[in-house]
Amino acid sequence: MDAKKQNELCRQACMIRKVLLETIHNAGSGHIGGSMSIAEILSVLYFNRMNVDPKDPDKIDRDRLVLSKGHCSPAMYATLALKGFFPMEHLKTFRKIDSDLSGHVEIHVPGVDMSAGSLGQGLSVALGMAMFAKAKGYGNNVYAIMGDGEIQEGQIWEAAMAAGFYHVNNLIAFVDNNGLQLDGRLSEVMDPNPIDEKFRAFGWNAVVVDGHDVAAIDDALEQAYQCKDKPTAIVCRTIKGKGVSVFEDQVRFHGGQPTDEEWKTAFAEIEAQLAKWEA
C-alpha cells in the first residue's frame, strides 16, 4: 500500500472515531470501547476494499458486511454516513425514539446487511450469504466482524465448522481481539485464545495482524482473496477504546459513559490525531 493510501485510510479511521464519539455524546449512551477498536477494520473495508455503492445500497452482487457484534453500531453508522449512505445529520437521531439508528445495528438502515445485537449469530448469517453468492456466481465477498468475547458463543463454531467443510472461500471473518468483554478480561472470564489455531482446526485459513495497522489489515485481505479453497479468519489484535488515552483498555467504557472532563479530553485527542493525518 502506498503512503498516500495509508494516510487516507488512517485519516478515515480517525474520522470514524470522531464521528462515533460525537454520535454517542449526543445520544448520551452507546458502546464506546468496542466501536473504537474496529475503526481501522472498517476504514480498510469501506474505503479500500468493499464493492458497495451508497447510491444503490441493495444491489444484488454487492459485498456484504455483518457486524455480528451489533452493539458497536456507532462505528458502523459513522462509517456508513462518511461513505455517503445517509446524511451525517441523521446521526443526531441515534438512540432516539422513532429513529432507525438504534443502539444495535438494524437492517432497515441503508448499508446494513443484518440486524444484530444478540451475540453469536452473525457468522451463521454471513455464511448463508456467502454460500448463496457462490451458488449464484455473483463473485462477491461476505465479511463478518465478531468480538473475541462473542466467540465464546457455541453457534460461532457451528458456522465455522460448516464454512471450513464447504470451502466457503468468499467468507472473511474478522475477530476484534481487544481482550475485554462486558464484565472483564477474557483471560479471567473464559479465554478463547489462541483464536487463529481454533479457526485453522475448523479448516480455515487464519492470520493474526495488528488491528490498528491499515496496511497489515489490507495485506491480510489480499491473502484471503488469494486463498481459493478456505474461508479466512483475520484475528485483529486491538485495544478496546483505541484512540483516546482515558478510554483505552478500560472495562468501564464497554457501555459506560465518560464524565464531561473525559469527553473534553477525548475530543481534544481525536482532533490532534486528525490534524496529524490531514498534514
Ligand X SMILES: Cc1ncc(C[n+]2csc(CCOP(=O)(O)OP(=O)(O)O)c2C)c(N)n1
Q: Please tell me whether residue 162 binds ligand X under the rule CB under 6 A.
A: no
Among 180, 221, 224, 233, binds ligand X (CB under 6 A): 180
Cell of 275: 490534524
Q: How far apart are CA 85 and CA 204, in angstroms?
A: 32
Q: How far apart are CA 227 and CA 170, in angstroms?
A: 9
CA angle 226, 232, 237 (to 5 degrees): 115
Cell of 62: 454487492
Question: Residue 173: which of 201, 191, 151, 149 has the closest Cα?
Answer: 151
Residue closer to ligand X by CB (options 120, 230) is 120
Among 63, 150, 196, 218, binds ligand X (CB under 6 A): 150
Cβ proximity of 246 and 266 under 8 Å: yes
CA distances from 7 to 12, 130, 145, 168, 276 (A): 9, 31, 23, 33, 10
Q: Please tell me whether residue 119 binds ligand X under the rule CB under 6 A.
A: yes
Q: Please tell me whether residue 181 binds ligand X under the rule CB under 6 A.
A: yes
The residue ranges of DSSP E strands in the chain, in sequence order, are 64-67, 142-147, 171-177, 180-181, 184-185, 205-210, 232-237
CA distances from 191 to 15, 37, 149, 195 (A): 32, 19, 8, 9
Residue closer to ligand X by CB (options 54, 192) is 192
Q: Please tell me whether residue 240 binds ligand X under the rule CB under 6 A.
A: yes
Say how many residues touch ligand X, by CB under 6 A.
Answer: 20
Q: How far apart are CA 12 and CA 196, in angstroms?
A: 28
Residue closer to ligand X by CB (options 149, 258) is 149
CB of 89 to ligand X, least distance (A): 27
Q: Please tell me whether residue 18 binds ligand X under the rule CB under 6 A.
A: no
Residue closer to ligand X by CB (options 52, 156) is 156
Residue closer to ligand X by CB (options 150, 196) is 150
CB of 193 to ligand X, least distance (A): 12
CB of 87 to ligand X, least distance (A): 27
Q: Please tell me whether residue 111 binds ligand X under the rule CB under 6 A.
A: no
Q: Please tell me whether residue 134 binds ligand X under the rule CB under 6 A.
A: no
CB of 202 to ligand X, least distance (A): 19
Q: How far apart are CA 21 and CA 74, in angstroms?
A: 8
Among 22, 176, 196, 218, binds ligand X (CB under 6 A): 176
Which segment (17-25, 31-39, 137-145, 220-228) binds ligand X by CB under 6 A? Answer: 31-39
Residue 91, CA atoms < 13 Å, CB-side half-sphere: 26
CB of 160 to ligand X, least distance (A): 15
Q: Please tell me whether residue 192 binds ligand X under the rule CB under 6 A.
A: no
Interacting residue ranges for ligand X, rule: CB under 6 A: 33-34, 37, 69, 71, 117-120, 147-150, 176, 178, 180-182, 240, 254
